Amino acid sequence: MQLTAPATGRPATRPRTRDADGMAVASFILGLLGLLVFNLFLGPTAIVLAAASLWRGTQRKGRAYLGMGLGVADLLVLLAFVQMDNTLSWNF
């Protein structure tokens, strides 16, 4: 069974929400910011926001994928500094 829009009779499409696009942009920004500070918190947050925006069908797929990649990079940077300093915090 295919849903149709009541006024036009054309097939109804899943509406793209502005929330999904906002989440993609937020994941990108948090991923960039996470490279400098709060890696442990901002990295996973960027990954989750990117995955949620892709699941909701964002039009900004590139930004979502970049946010996901930067979130993973945040965690890798944290892991590298933890290995070098043997602590969970690091300084410039």
Tell me the average pLDDT of the chain. 83
Separation of alpha carbons 66 and 63, rounded Å: 5
Q: What is the pTM of this model?
A: 0.76
15: pLDDT strictly greater than 70: no
The tens digit of pLDDT for each residue in 25-63 reads 999 999 999 998 888 899 999 999 999 999 998 888 999
Two structure tokens written together for 26: 């937020």
